[in-house]
Chains A and B, each alone.
Chain A
Amino acid sequence: MLELINIYKTFNACSLSEVKSLVNFSLKINKGDFVTVIGTNGSGKSTLQNIISGTISPDSGSILIDNANVTNWREDKRASLIGRVFQNPFTGTAPGMTIAENLALAALRGKIRGLRWALRKKLVAQMKEKLSTLKMGIEDRLDAPVGTLSGGQRQAITLLMASWLEPKIFLLDEHTAALDPKSAEKIINLTKEIVESRKLTTLMVTHSMQQAANLGNRLIMMHRGRLVRDIQGEERNRLKTDDLLNMFEELRLLEQLDESAAEMLQENYI
């Protein structure tokens, strides 16, 4: 479904602030996979999502979605294939527009909107039905501006919008990190429900070890622009939060093994 082949991306190349964000990064995700992505700060998790959605272009390498090479497709052309939810609940919706108008935008995403995008009865019924699954009581407030909703409610609507057209690839970029714990839990349950019921191919970046251990059928760990762990199948099913913390600890220890430590170990290890 999604294939990344030998992707390189360097920011501020050849300067003091050079950051190798992705280094020879390859990943193949099958249809229906729910992949959680963890990694240290600056490990390239967000760059990965930006490269898939076309927000930025790789320096080299290719991106295939459903066997189509989309490496040179513009972001808006890829939009019909990709649904994306960001960390900030205010980026996914237009605050001045009503809930219904926002949802209508999502329903007609990638299509020619023309002048006929006025709210049709069928669409309104569909909206009410989908909103009622949120159990937030907003199905009766279709005409309220989105700006009047709480962060959690807005993120729930963003999730609905991003998944409305059943995108080929569903990208979630720490989409609960800015929410209070209760809202975060609601959004996670909603995410699980949406992804599982529609079998969306999903890539979810998270800082929460609990989410990473409990969600999805595959987990990848990134470090310094590389894929350092890819856990799936039986091993993934047995994965616990503690295992993830141990993986980070192992990385931390390796980072501390610098040249001086290498020299010391050569002298002192047997």
Chain B
Amino acid sequence: MKISSSQKGNIFEIQVSGRLDAYWSGLLDTEIEKAVHGGKHKIALDTSGVEYISSAGLRILLKTNNRLKSLGGKFIIKNPSANVIEILNLTGFGDLFRESISSSEDDNNNNADDGKISATLEASPDNYMKCTISGRADFWNAKDAGSISSDALEASENVFAIGTAAFGDRHESCKSRYGEFIAAAGAAAYLPTDNAKEADYMISTGDFIPKLHSIFSIKCEGKFSRVFNFEQEKTETTAMSEICRRALELTSSPRASLMMIAEIDGLSGAFLRKSPCEIKPAENIFAFPNIREWLSFTPEKAHQGRLAIVCGVVGSEREDFGGSMKPVDMKNDISAHLHAAVFNYIPLRQGKLELSAAVKGLFSEEKIHTVMHLINDNRIYSGAGESVFSRGICWVSPVKEIIRKGL
């Protein structure tokens, strides 16, 4: 038995020969899994050299076919040997593959662009977002915990928000739990700062809309105007700063709202460990070692291979969004405030992706690991740098109106 593979145009070809029994089916499954994880959603299996397929082998073919179909890709059996055709026909799987077999030659429908960041997939250039800033980002400058006020926030379908919040409808019941939060397309998650320490989430269903209470939030409401894909090129991944630049460029705006679903190559972030309402008068939360009680961070890039929903705002003026923006890289020309929710990996459908369904699908089906505030760890030798992604899809929109509340 032999398994080898090569990229032919937009089709990833896997050649197998010999006996496809239970043992080799396992290896073939791993090979296909690796290809799908690497973004190959059009796979041709060259079975010209296959003498025998057991039920284990058939299972893999069936599984791959269903999987790639659901991802908007394609699975093709190429050059089936007489044995393979016979087995497929006898077991009733012939029909399933006949179409694939006959269409293998003319499959040239290419919608993957070359280059790292592709052109826009869809444009409704008139769309824009309205932004509401509530509360103050620098809670540590509050006179005392009692002076920290809070505000209700509903995570409805058209809301894309980040900040410090907790699920609940009263400040009293939330004040020991406030942590990093993210809300997108009717779903919301936050990292509680009480003993729970596990990211909690809520998804809107029917008339139910998740309710949060926040002490600081940046809430963007409206629709996205542009969508773009990005893909890893050889070993080069896409940095958060590149995506931010692209967002401003595409929206031709000094400030933009951004939402993305991407496969993580490494996240650099920080998160609260203690609720801001626990701050003592004149306490310096950044003083070492006191900071260890308050914040934790990723000393090296984290969560590689997982999936992230990233949400937030980007702009060329640091003071724009309640003074909570930080430079995305060393160039200092663009700042952002972004939060990420981290999930288990699942392959993403390529091309156009329906935002709301994709977000809700992730929230309801995959385990959420954490929520964090993305940072650029710019320390010269020991810094983890900024977050990087291997592939993903990003929605952006200009922010045209900023309202300040609760100051």
Contact = CB atoms under 8 A, between A and B. Distances in A.
Interface of A: 250, 253-254, 256-270
A265 B379 contact: no
Interface string B240-272: 000000000000000000000000000000100
A263 B375 CA distance: 13
B221 interface: no
B373 A269 contact: yes
A254 B296 contact: yes
17 contacts: A253-B296, A253-B299, A256-B297, A259-B288, A260-B379, A261-B297, A261-B299, A261-B382, A262-B286, A264-B375, A264-B383, A265-B270, A265-B291, A265-B295, A268-B375, A269-B326, A270-B373
Contacts of A257: 291-292, 295-297, 299
B264 to A, nearest CB: 17
B376 interface: yes
Nearest to B163: A270
B378 A264 contact: yes
Nearest to B327: A268
Given A256-B297, A257-B292, 9 more contacts: A253-B298, A259-B288, A261-B379, A268-B270, A268-B376, A268-B377, A268-B378, A269-B295, A269-B326
B266 to A, nearest CB: 15
B288 A262 contact: yes
B337 interface: yes
Contacts of B382: 260-261
A260 B378 CA distance: 11
B297 A253 contact: yes
B162 to A, nearest CB: 11
Interface string B34-49: 0000000000000000
Contacts of A270: 137-138, 324, 326, 337, 373
A14 B244 CA distance: 53
Contacts of A250: 296
Interface string B368-407: 0000010111110011000000000000000000000000
B282 interface: no
Contacts of A259: 288
A262 B299 contact: no
Q: Say whether chain A's binding surface is mostly helix, strand, loop, or mixed.
A: helix
Contacts of A267: 326, 378
A262 B287 contact: yes
Contacts, number: 60
List 6 A-B pairs, minimum CB-CB distance, nearest first: A256-B299, A266-B286, A262-B288, A268-B375, A270-B137, A262-B291
B198 to A, nearest CB: 9
Contacts of B379: 260-261, 264
B57 to A, nearest CB: 35
Contacts of A262: 286-288, 291
A253 B138 CA distance: 24
Contacts of B138: 270
A146 to B, nearest CB: 48
A78 to B, nearest CB: 37
Contacts of A256: 297, 299
Contacts of B292: 254, 257
Contact of B375 (A253, A254, A258, A269): A269
A142 B304 CA distance: 58
A250 B195 CA distance: 13
A269 to B, nearest CB: 5
Given A253-B297, A257-B292, A260-B382, A265 B337 contact: no
A40 B138 CA distance: 35
A66 B230 CA distance: 68
A148 B295 CA distance: 56
A256 B383 CA distance: 11
Among A254, A266, A269, chain B packs the most CB atoms within 10 A around the CB of A269
Interface in B142-176: none
Contacts of B324: 270
Contacts of A268: 270, 326, 375-378
Nearest to A235: B195
Given A270-B324, A270-B326, A270-B337, A265 B288 contact: no
B113 to A, nearest CB: 33
A269 B292 CA distance: 14
Contacts of B298: 253
Nearest to A259: B288
B300 to A, nearest CB: 8
A253 B297 CA distance: 7
A82 B292 CA distance: 38
Contacts of B296: 250, 253-254, 257
A77 to B, nearest CB: 41
B45 to A, nearest CB: 37
A270 B327 CA distance: 10
